Amino acid sequence: MNSDPLSHLPHGISFRFVDRVLEMTPGKRVVALKNVTVGDPYLQGHFPGNPLMPGVLLVEAMAQTAGLLLSEGSSAVLAQIRDARFRRPVVPGDQVRIEAERLGGLGGLHRFAVKASVDDAPVAEVEIVLAETSQATTNVF
């Protein structure tokens, strides 16, 4: 794998929600960080005077973290979100620790358990299924 695991993500910088990889066991487990700052553009409208990281973007950060466990050179699309639970809001100044563990797969489908926490307190958990594809625009359904 490339020395910078984040270079494995197919997302452009403006839509990358993983800032740093702390631990990696290729194909099995990864721990990453997302720093939420007051300057993040999506916080300007969500919500004025009470900025919160949108749950959908937190799930995207969790999916991107899981995607780091796919083989180098592959890309995937989000195929399924199961049992998403949100425990508390994520706000500017929070450093979100995201832990993804590969549960298994079949063919081009890969299943992951992903947890997010801030200061050791859980903020979200979800089971994510990613579908490997040769192009991000491929219709896999």
Q: In the chain, what are the domain boundaries?
A: 5-133
- Span 3-50, pLDDT tens digits: 678 877 778 788 899 999 999 999 999 999 999 999 999 999 999 999
- Span 76-92, pLDDT tens digits: 999 999 999 999 999 99
State the burial class of residue 106 (Cβ atoms within 10 Å of its Cβ: 0-12, 13-18, 19+).
Answer: exposed
Average pLDDT, the chain: 91
Beta-carbon contacts of 43 under 8 Å, excluding residues fewer than 6 positions away, are 36, 51, 52, 53, 92
Beta-carbon contacts of 98 under 8 Å, excluding residues fewer than 6 positions away, are 18, 31, 32, 33, 34, 61, 62, 65, 114, 115, 116
Look at the pTM and tell me if it is higher than 0.85: yes
8 carries an active-site annotation: no
Catalytic residue among 8, 11, 46, 110: 46
What stretches of the chain show up as alpha helix (H) in DSSP?
A: 55-67
DSSP assigned state of 118: E
Q: In the CATH hierarchy, which top-level class contains the domain 5-133?
A: alpha beta
